[in-house]
Amino acid sequence: MRKTLSSKATFFIIAALFLWIKSYLVYIFEFDLGVNNSLQELLLLFNPISSILFFLGIALFIKGQKMGVWVITIQALMTIFLYANVMFYRFNNDFITIPVLTQTSNFGSLGGSVASLAQWSDLLYIVDIVLLIGLYVWTRKDWTISKTRFRKPLIVMTAGILAFTVNLHFAEKDRPELLKRTFDRNYIVKYIGAYNFAIYDIVQNVQSSTQRVLADSNDITVVENYTKNKFAEPNEELFGIGEGKNIIKIHLESYQSFLIDYELHGKEVTPFINSLANDQNHEFTYFENFFHQTEQGKTADAELIVDNSLFGLPQGAAFVTKAKNTYQSLPSVLKNEQDYTNAILHGDGKSFWNRDEIYKQFAIDEFFDETYYDMSEDNVIGYGLKDKPFFEDSVPMLESLEEPFYAHLISLTHHHPYLIDEEDATIAPAETGDKSVDRYFQTARYLDEALEQFFIDLKESGLYDDSIIMIYGDHYGVSNNHNPAMSKLLDREITPFESAQLQRVPFMVRIPGVEGQGTVSNYSGQVDVMPTMLHLVGIRAQDYIQLGTDVFSEDHKQYVAFRNGDFITPEYTMVQDTYYDNETEEPIEEPTEEMKEMRDTILHELGLSDKVLQGDLLRYYTPTDNWAPVNKKDYFYSEYDGESTFAEDYRKQQAITEHSSSTNGFEIRE
Ligand code: GP9
Ligand code: MN
């Protein structure tokens, strides 16, 4: 038996196998990675191989018996890394990243609880190392010394790199642009593994810190001059008209404006949203030529743009790569100038899109994530909580906030691939044969019904009368990959011009006590939201770095930039280097100088925005005399750990007393 086991190769293979099995068991038993198809299952099993071969392969450079010591040391280091992540995950439901390591307060929150997180069964983590040491002592005398020094390690390490390439290829099949779009860390670990994720994280951090280091305080002056100059004076009648009111901001996932008034099988798809757009109650103003401006960051981009009046990055999500930046977000300004309490409500894990990090920089006081909601099986589909229970259970959370508040509710069910339970589907799917497009209308209807009920509940709670309500669509739901189906549905060819027009998403505002303006045709985009909101509550946007302008202003600049440099104005559209006349939809043979200048303006603005984000330039900018920069340390998002849901708990609480008391640390509004 000893003879068969007595070779360096066997020792190496056994070590690699041990580490492989250990890593896989950790994935299964310690992490909650949400594996939901067989390809993901397979990748989870496969993904530790690449880094194990690569790192253990290093030991093969060492000659003689010492190689064994190196194998054991590397094995131990990788185990420590894994175990540190396990401990961190047990507490935070998240993985260790460089920003987390540099942010010692996070460990502070672990406090003395490290001991309580450890379990006796954790001793199993060293079983393989003990066995390896035994094997080493037992067999090393019989090891032969290899003649070549570099061949073996290089072969093994190259095999590791190759395994990674294959891994990534299949991962991107399941989740396109996985690394570029920098999804949730749980996703990346699920697809490429905990070790590869750590390398990815290091590369990302090095890249982003170099750009930051090269920036200096003069850079912001250039941006400031531009934005101060672009500023549009507020509409006098509306400036400050919503002062002191709450802001309830509703994020309609994947909702494109073509849905408004669209009829399928002779029925309106979203009758309630239609009624708001058509201002049947004389309350809402609907901007029919409003566009999303997002790129790879999708939802995260929409949130960033709307709340900061900056563009997202050309690649990746600033939510992830620029999470440590200084921001002067809409909620932070509201808080600074008018003492708002800021909250975000969303029925998904808190770390998706790195929200739990960036929200601190945005001065978000409360983050009601999935742990606050009833996530039982019936309530969940696709990415997370269904919109109906989400909106319903959000009302008591809103009531718990101190007024005035800014609350951002992010819907989720109307998300690709538009899954819906049979009992929730109240309209038949479309019949294009493109499954996800066909279901798109069913989840849109579901969102519409959820929203309608939410309005009823808001009115009942009394919040409706005290709150500005702002509704916006985050980004397209039907991508160009589905043009044949879209063309059937809209009964026209989806040309590049048409595809640009389809990037319209709704933007609607309702101010209590103010009559709505019905449908407004002014052109605007997500970047214009923040200055608009600031003016409504009576804060001059000019003091802040804003690339958009107030949509209610007479001077509002009516051009809309897309992140790739294409753009739209009321008269013409520029897509892929071609200018089109909006009326005739035909290419313009000879674009005017003015059109070309507009293009330069667009590129200039996008470039300025990139400079702000890449250089973290807002750290050099003091907007007003009494501006207090956001201090991340002031914000901490605990998970709700009540035995019942927040809503249930809240109701119980209400039954006991009508006065303010606390439910797991949350003040109940009197
Ligand atoms: C997840 C949700 C979806 O929490 O916001 O993000 P998206 O895929 O639309 O960017
Ligand atoms: Mn989205």
Kindly report the CATH number that applies to the domain delimited by 220-622: 3.40.720.10
Calculate how far, in angstroms, residue 461's C-alpha sits from the geometric centre of ligand 1: 29
The total of other beta-carbon atoms located within 10 Å of residue 67's CB is 23
Is the distance from CB of 563 to CB of 314 less than 8 angstroms?
A: yes
**Stated pTM of the model:** 0.78
CA distances from 520 to 259, 285, 467, 536, 625 (A): 17, 7, 21, 17, 36
Ligand nearest to the CA of 320: 1
State in Å, rounded, how far the first CA of the chain is from the last one: 76
Nearest 5°: the CA angle 579, 581, 584 is: 140
Residue 299 appears among annotated catalytic residues: yes
- Where in the chain are the domains? 2-212, 220-622
Contacts for 29 with CB less than 8 Å, ≥ 6 apart: none
Phi, then psi, of 267 in degrees rounded to 5: -125, 145
Q: Looking at residue 664, what is its pLDDT?
A: 34
Tell me how far CA of residue 582 lies from CA of 178, 597, 599, in angstroms: 36, 18, 16
- To test the pocket of ligand 1, the residue of 352, 354, 359 to mutate (highest count of ligand atoms within 8 Å of its CB) is 352
Of the residues 79, 270, 299, 341, only one is catalytic, namely 299
DSSP state of 196: H
Q: Which atom of ligand 1 is nearest to the CA of 181?
A: 10
Q: Which ligand 1 atom is the nearest neighbour of the CA of 300?
A: 10
All residues with CB under 5 Å from ion ligand 2: 253, 298-299, 474
Q: For position 294, what pLDDT does the model report?
A: 94
Whole-angstrom distance, CA of residue 301 vs CA of residue 293: 8
Q: Which residues line ligand 1 (CB under 6 A)?
A: 298-299, 348, 352, 383, 410, 412, 415
Å from CA of 29 to ligand 2 middle: 30
Distance 172 CA to ligand 1 centre (A): 17
Report the alpha-carbon angle 254-561-262, nearest 5: 35
pLDDT of residue 533: 98
What pLDDT is recorded for position 100? Answer: 65
Beta-sheet pairing, 341-346 with 366-368: parallel
Radius of gyration of the chain (CA): 27
**Cα maximum dimension of the chain:** 91
CA 383, distance to chain mean position in Å, is 12
The C-alpha angle 669, 638, 311, rounded to 5 degrees, equals 90
C-alpha to C-alpha distances, 432 to 15, 435, 487, nearest whole angstrom: 54, 8, 9
Give the residue carrying structure tokens 């008034």: 261
* Residue of 127, 142, 138 lying closest to 83 (CA atoms): 127
pLDDT of residue 647: 61
Mutate to test the pocket of ligand 1, among 175, 383, 386, 414 (most ligand atoms within 8 A of CB): 383
Q: Which tens digits make up the pLDDT trace of 608-633?
A: 999 999 999 999 999 999 999 999 99
- What's the CA-to-centroid distance between 384 and ligand 1, angstroms? 10
Tell me the CA–centroid distance for residue 254 and ligand 2, in Å.
5
pLDDT mean by block of 10 residues, the chain; 670 residues? 79 96 96 86 96 96 92 97 91 74 49 70 95 94 80 95 96 81 74 95 82 92 97 97 98 98 98 95 96 92 98 86 94 98 96 93 96 94 94 96 98 94 98 95 98 98 97 94 93 95 98 96 98 98 98 97 94 92 97 96 94 96 96 89 63 49 32
